[in-house]
Amino acid sequence: MREVAVVGFTQSPSVRREPDRNEIEILIPVIQALREQTGLSSKDFDFICSGSSDYLAGQSFAFVSGLDAVGAWPPVCESHVEMDGAWALYEAWVKIQMGYADTALVYGFGKPSMGDLPLTMALQLDPYTMMPLWPDAISIAGLQARHCLDAGLLRAEDMAAAAVRDRANAKNNPNAQVKGDFSVQQILAEPFLVNPLRKSDCAPISDGASAIVLAAGDRAKQLSDRPAWIRGIEHICEPMDLGIRDLGRSRSSEIAARKAGVSNDKIDVAELSAPFTHQEILVERALGLSQKTKVNPSGGALAGNPLMAVGLSRIGECATRIWSGEADRAVAHATSGPCLQQNLVCVLEGN
Partner 1 sequence: MSPSEAEKTNQPVTVLACPISLDYAYSAGQSASRFLRAIAEGKLLGQRCPVDGRVYFPSRGACPMHGVTFGDDAVELSDKGTIVTFSIVRVPSQNIALPLPYITVNVLLDGADTILIHVLDAKLEDVHMGMRVQAVWKPKEEWTTSTANILYFRPIDEPDAKYESYKEHI
Partner 2 sequence: MTKQSAATEALTAPHTLSYTYKRSLGAVMSGFFTALRDRRLLGVKRRDGKVLFPAREYDPDTSEAIDELVEVGPMGVVRSWAWVAKPRRQQPLARPFAYALVQLDGADTPFLHVVDAGSEAKMATGMCVRARWADETKGAIDDFVFEPA
| Contacting positions for partner 1 (CB under 8 A) | 19-25, 28-29, 31-32, 42, 55, 58, 65, 67-73, 111, 114-116, 119-120, 123, 127-128, 131-132
Alpha helices in 4-84 (DSSP H): 23-38, 54-57
Residues facing residue 229 across a β-bridge: 5, 349
Using CB under 8 A as the binding criterion, the count of chain residues that bind partner 2 stands at: 48
- Is 33 a binder of partner 2 (CB under 8 A)? yes
φ, ψ at 274 (rounded to 5°): -70, 125
81-100 binders of partner 2 (CB under 8 A): none
- Is 150 a binder of partner 2 (CB under 8 A)? yes
Residues facing residue 230 across a β-bridge: 348
Q: Which does 69 bind (CB under 5 to 8 A by kind): partner 1, partner 2, none?
A: partner 1
Query: Which is closer to partner 1, CB of 131 or CB of 188?
Result: 131
- Is 39 a binder of partner 2 (CB under 8 A)? no
Give CA 72 to chain center in angstroms.
26
Selected binder of partner 2 within 42, 97, 139, 263 (CB under 8 A) = 139
Q: How many CB atoms lie within 10 A of CB 74?
A: 6
Report, in Å, the least distance between residue 227 CB and partner 2: 22
Q: Whose CA is closest to 46, among 211, 209, 213, 210? A: 213
Q: How many CB atoms lie within 10 A of CB 126?
A: 13
Query: Which is closer to partner 2, CB of 178 or CB of 194?
Result: 194
197-198/192-194 β-pairing? antiparallel
Which amino acid, 67? Answer: L
- Is 71 a binder of partner 2 (CB under 8 A)? no
The count of residues in the chain is 351
Which residues here bind partner 2, judged by CB under 8 A?
10, 12, 19-22, 29-30, 32-33, 36, 55, 58-59, 116, 119, 122, 127-130, 132-136, 138-147, 150, 192, 194-197, 239, 241-244, 247
